[in-house]
Amino acid sequence: MAVTGVRRGGASLAIGGTALLLTGCAGLPASGPTAHQILMQAAPRGGAAVFNVVSLDQASVHALNAAAPASLSPGGLAPLADAVSRGVIGPGDTLKINLYEVGVSLFSGSKATAAGADAFDASAHGQEFAAVTVDRNGNIRLPFAGTLQVGGLTTDRVEQEIERRLSDKSQHPQVVVTIAESIFSSVVVTGDVRKPGRITLTSGQEHLVDAIAVAGGTEEAIDDVVVRFVRKGQRVEKRLGDIVPGSADDLILDPGDRIEVVRQPRSFTVFGAAGKVSEVPFESSRVSLAEAIARVGGPSDSAADPTAIFLFRNDAPRGTNGLPNIYRISMLDPRTYFLAQNVKLRDKDLIYIANSRSSRPSKFVAIINQLFSPAVAARAIAQ
């Protein structure tokens, strides 16, 4: 009789378990929505769609790879290129000035010869002035020449102006002006470089990549650092690995440019039925969608729907309806593997592996099996 009671009790539990299996599976934990639930958001019955679901094909692969990343400035650095003002003098620069005179001179103490006051002294005399710094208004002051506006001029122009002012005071004055130290004609390199600081520009027309090299370069992988370039109040960002030496983005530097090298490692995230939520660094210059899926172990055999792997990208191309596209691939379609190898993953891409619709009932069955384990049955018979 006791056995019969157990059987009846077991039958009642089985019937109750079946009811719970049919009505309570939705309450079991899951790592994310199923493919059906995602598709319902793309084409809801009673509301507006949130996004488009696009099956990955050759056209969508091309569109994904061709679209410019929105995380950095579109178009790169080339729009900031303009005529550079090399070799001009500006506030803060230190000038070295040498004056050379023939005959009667202002500074050497030479006098007229015994042959007469009008005799010509063929000897040359030189005078080196103390280093002079250009003030914030772009002016300098020299003996007998007075105040000179030198800001924005080349050294040749300054030489000519000093000679003109001394021409009625000295015989055949010749002036040589050199920039001993330039604050104005320089750029500043900061951030993740080995030797941050100020770099003086020369007539050699240094480029952006040259300045970073002079600053010691970076210890990070060039694809994991961003160059923030500021010129005349405009700021543009581009990954160092994307700046090809000699290209339009490798700008000729202009006085006052500021260069900041910032470490920004690229990574992608994986959610859903892939074992665990992961943020995965690129660790190489290029990672394909196929490689990204492989790095996290692929879809879980017990929980994932291999026909429903989705790629979410913030700056992905939009559909004709203006809504963002998300891209779906099926690991059961052999053609997908070729396409996934050609999709170039980008920084902050998100891969979602959908849960299988059968995973929740499977979890519930596992719970029922634990409840009806031999140990539980034996305990019930003993009662």
What are 165-194's pLDDT values in tens digits? 988 888 788 999 998 888 888 899 999 999
* Confidence band for 1, pLDDT divided at 50, 70 and 90: very low
**Residue 135 has what DSSP assignment?**
-
* Confidence band for 39, pLDDT divided at 50, 70 and 90: confident
Residue closest to 270 by CA, chosen among 218, 310, 326, 234: 310
**Residue 356 has what DSSP assignment?**
P
pLDDT score for 98: 92
The phi-psi region of residue 170 (left if phi > 0; otherwise alpha if psi is between -120 and 50; otherwise beta) is beta
Lowest-confidence region among 13-22, 178-187, 201-210: 13-22
pLDDT value at 365 more than 70: no
pLDDT digits (tens, 9 = 90+) for 76-101: 677 777 655 667 888 989 999 999 88
Residues of the chain with pLDDT > 90, as a percent, come to 38
Q: Are strands 234-239 and 267-272 parallel, antiparallel or unpaired?
A: unpaired
pLDDT score for 261: 96
| Range among 7-21, 98-112, 141-155, 273-287 rated most confident | 141-155
pLDDT score for 5: 46
- The DSSP line for 272-314 is ESSSS-EEEE--SS--BHHHHHHHTTSS-TTTEEEEEEEEE-T
Lowest-confidence region among 65-74, 285-294, 346-355, 360-369: 360-369
Average pLDDT of the residues of the chain:
80
Mean pLDDT throughout 282-310? 89
User: Fold for domain 94-181?
Assistant: wza like fold (3.30.1950)
In sequence order, the 6+-apart residues with CB closer than 8 A to the CB of 75 are 68
- Give 209 or 276, the one with higher predicted confidence: 209
pLDDT score for 114: 46
User: Fold for domain 35-55+280-362?
Assistant: Outer membrane lipoprotein wza fold like (3.10.560)
Residue closest to 359 by CA, chosen among 293, 294, 306: 306
Residue closest to 264 by CA, chosen among 230, 292, 239: 239
Cβ contact 329:336 at 8 Å = yes
pLDDT digits (tens, 9 = 90+) for 135-151: 999 999 999 899 999 99
> Can 35-55+280-362 and 78-84+188-263 be said to share one CATH topology?
yes
Residue closest to 248 by CA, chosen among 211, 221, 208: 208
Structural element, H or E, at residue 158? helix 155-166
- Give 107 or 237, the one with higher predicted confidence: 237
| Range among 120-124, 202-206, 232-236 rated most confident | 232-236
* Confidence band for 3, pLDDT divided at 50, 70 and 90: very low
pLDDT score for 175: 93
Lowest-confidence region among 19-23, 50-54, 108-112: 19-23
* Confidence band for 28, pLDDT divided at 50, 70 and 90: very low
Listed by start position, the domains of the chain span 35-55+280-362, 78-84+188-263, 94-181
**Residue 172 has what DSSP assignment?**
S
pLDDT score for 379: 56
pTM confidence score: 0.65
- In CATH terms, 78-84+188-263 corresponds, of 3.40.50.280, 3.40.50.150, 3.30.365.10, 3.10.560.10, to 3.10.560.10
